[in-house]
Amino acid sequence: MASKRVLEVVVGGDLVLDEPDPGYWIAGIVPAIRPADLAVAHLEVPHTSRGTEMKGDVPAPGAPPENLAAIREAGFGMLSLAGNHIADCGPEGIEDTIAGLDALGIAHAGAGATLAASRRPAIREVAGRRVALLSYNCVGPEIGWAGDAKAGAAYLRVETADGLPIAPAASLETASPEAFAMLAEDIAAARDRADIVLVALHKGIVHVPARLAPYERPLAHAAIEAGADAVLGHHAHIVRGIEFHRGRPIFHGLGNACVVTSALSPAQDHPARREWAERRKQMFGFEPDPAYPLAPFHPEAVHAFLGRLCFDGEGGVSAAIVPVHVEAPGRPVLADEARGAAIRSYVERITRDAGLPAIRIASDGTVTEAL
C-alpha cells in the first residue's frame, strides 16, 4: 500500500482586520498561504455590527463582518477563536462571527453558544487525512469564558500568583488540575475522529520579547503528551521561541499573522482603549514607532513568521518558519533574503533567551533541535 503524500499546514498567529480594504493588508503573506494544503490562524476579535461592549478587559471593537471574506480569500481554511477578545461584543458578536465563518466554509473552534460547543474540535479533511483543531483561552478574562448556558470561549484555567481574578494583565503562574484534565479529555476525543490534532493556546505575556510565563511549557507539553501533533501559541503580539517535545513541535508564540487596527492607538476617542495605549508604555517599557499607527507593538514585533508543518505518511512531522517582515504602517510581507536571515537568527536567539533547548533554523526555514 502506497504511503500518503506529505501534508503541508501553514500556521499563523493573530488576525485583526478591522480596517478598510482588508485584502490589501493581508496580501503580503498570501503567497505562503495559498499553496499549502491547509492554513490555520487565530481570529482575535468578533466580526459583527451588533452586540454590547463587554466589561472586564480592554474591549476590542467588532470588525466589519464583510472583512471575513478577505481571510478566506487569502487561503485560511481553519481558525481558532478562543481568546481574550472574542466575547468583547457579547453573545451576539460570537453568533455573528460563527455565522459568517460558516457561510464562507471556514472551519473554527474555540467559541460558541455553550462551553460544550466551544470545546468541540474543528475538523477538515485534506488530502485524505482529517485534521482537527482545538482552541483554548489561557489568559482570561473570566467574563469571556463560555459556560453551560453562556456564550464565550473555551478556556484552560491558569491560576494567578496573587489569587486575583484571571485576566490578561494578571501574573499567571500555574495551570489548574482541571485544565490538564480538560485538555487530555478533548484531545483524546479529537484523536478518535482525526488523523492529525492541532492545539491552539491563547497564552503568554504580551509585548515582551522572549519571556515565557511559568505555566506555558507545562501546558504545551501536556497537550503533546495527551496526543496533540503540534501546539500553536498566540496572544503576545510578538513571536516566541520554538521547541520540540517528544518529537512534536511547539510554537510558543506565532505573533501577529496580520494585525491592522486603529483600536490600539492613543489617538482615539474610546477612553478605555486610549488609557490602555498609554498605560502599556509604562507597563512594558517601550514607545511604539509612530510609523506603525495600525500595529503599535514592541519594536521587535516587526520580526515575524508563519509556521509550516509537514506531516509525512508515517506519523512524523517536521517544522519550519516562513520569515515575515512587518512594514509600516503595519502590513506583513514575506521577508527578503537579508531580512529572512535576520529573522531566523532572531528566533534562534529568543528561543535560547527563554530557556528553551537551542534550535537551528536552516536557510530554507527548517527548524531542528541543536545537538
What digits encode the pLDDT tens for the residues 165-201?
A: 787 878 899 999 999 999 999 999 999 999 999 999 9
Please tell me the distance from the alpha carbon of residue 338 to that of residue 18, in angstroms, as a whole number.
31
- Domain membership of residue 95 (yes or no) is yes
- Domain membership of residue 254 (yes or no) is yes
Confidence at residue 1, expressed as pLDDT on a 0 to 100 scale: 40
Confidence at residue 269, expressed as pLDDT on a 0 to 100 scale: 66
Please tell me the distance from the alpha carbon of residue 51 to that of residue 305, in angstroms, as a whole number.
33
- Domain membership of residue 2 (yes or no) is no
Q: Within the chain, which residues score under 50 in pLDDT?
A: 1
Q: Write the CATH number for 320.
A: 3.60.21.10
Residue 227: which domain range?
7-369
- Domain membership of residue 1 (yes or no) is no
- Domain membership of residue 39 (yes or no) is yes
- Domain membership of residue 154 (yes or no) is yes
Task: Tell me the per-residue pLDDT of 262-318, one tens digit each, with 9 for 90 and over.
Answer: 877 666 666 766 676 666 666 677 888 889 999 999 999 999 999 999 999 888 999
User: Cell 463582518 appears where?
Assistant: 65
- Domain membership of residue 310 (yes or no) is yes
Confidence at residue 57, expressed as pLDDT on a 0 to 100 scale: 66
Number of domains in the chain: 1
pTM (2 d.p.): 0.95
